[in-house]
């Protein structure tokens, strides 16, 4: 508990939470977790450089090249559970998914290093790569079609770092060298977006939308940018209290 200046006793809202750490000593294949998700069965899935890990609260099950033929490179970078409950696995060599306890590779993605994933309102999966632009997996009538979004679709940077779908259905893309892009659904192409208040093209690692519509954008070595609904921006840095501008 903590005692406020006015004498009121305030209970820590996190007092009820227990903390435990699992590492290679307890069965993890690596001490570095790149991503963590929890599925509808309450399994905890963790992405590591040494493979995918499923934890049921007691035991670890590791999926890697030794027991999972679909893996070309078991360095697992991103995880995503779509609205239907499917687990998508972004590896350094391909996009995979879990189906009936078996991991499968999405054909045509074997050379992609997956960086980000999300689902649009139509149930299609968008995923970016660190090395070969952006893709959309269109699912219709029980079939899946893979569509690439490269230079011909307005993408001037092949290194996609982050994706964000707003509550209004707007898709934003953060790139390594060319900043922010917005998707124009009518034209089916991406358009570069200028962010006021920035002197240089930003390297955008992460994005999130606040309840009031403000977009929060994490920029490498620059800090955290707030892009408000009225079009204005504010850049927060170490001088504003951030521990690091990266």
Over residues 49-108, the pLDDT tens digits come to: 999 999 999 999 999 999 999 999 999 999 999 999 999 999 999 999 999 889 999 999
Integer distance in angstroms from the first to the last C-alpha of the chain? 33
- Mean pLDDT computed over 126-150: 93
Name the percent of the chain lying above pLDDT 70: 93
d(CA 214, CA 208): 8
Give the dihedral of Cα atoms 108, 161, 63, 71; nearest 10 deg.
Answer: 20
Per-residue CA distances from 189 to 5, 17, 78, 111, 133 (Å):
56, 46, 25, 23, 13
Q: Rounded to the nearest 5 degrees, what angle is found at the Cα of 20, between the Cα atoms of 13 and 40? A: 80
- Mean pLDDT computed over 159-166: 97
Is it the case that residue 7 has pLDDT exceeding 70?
no
Q: In what order do the strands lie in the sheet with 76-81?
A: 76-81, 87-91, 94-99, 102-105
For residue 204, what are its two tokens? 């955008």
Please state whether the predicted TM-score (pTM) of the whole model is above 0.85. yes
């Amino acid at each position: 508990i903590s005692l406020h200046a006015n004498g009121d006793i305030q209970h820590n809202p996190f007092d009820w939470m227990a903390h435990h750490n699992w590492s290679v000593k307890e069965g993890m294949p690596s001490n570095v977790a790149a991503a963590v998700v929890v599925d509808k069965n309450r399994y905890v899935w963790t992405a590591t450089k040494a493979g995918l890990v499923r934890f049921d609260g007691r035991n670890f099950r590791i999926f890697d090249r030794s027991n999972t033929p679909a893996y070309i490179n078991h360095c697992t970078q991103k995880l995503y559970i779509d609205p239907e409950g499917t687990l998508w696995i972004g590896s350094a060599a391909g996009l995979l998914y879990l189906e009936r306890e078996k991991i499968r590779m999405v054909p045509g993605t074997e050379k992609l290093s997956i960086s980000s994933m999300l689902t649009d309102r139509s149930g299609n999966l968008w995923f970016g790569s660190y090395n070969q632009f952006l893709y959309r997996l269109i699912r219709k009538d029980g079939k899946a079609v893979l569509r690439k979004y490269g230079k011909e679709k307005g993408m001037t940077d092949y290194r996609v770092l982050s994706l964000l779908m707003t509550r209004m259905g707007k898709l934003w893309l953060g790139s390594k060298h060319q900043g922010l892009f917005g998707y124009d659904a009518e034209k089916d192409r991406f358009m570069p977006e200028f962010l006021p208040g920035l002197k240089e093209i930003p390297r955008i690692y992460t994005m999130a939308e606040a309840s009031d519509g403000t977009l929060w954008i994490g920029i490498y070595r620059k800090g955290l940018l707030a892009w408000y609904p009225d079009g204005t921006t504010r850049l927060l840095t170490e001088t504003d209290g951030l521990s690091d501008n990266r």
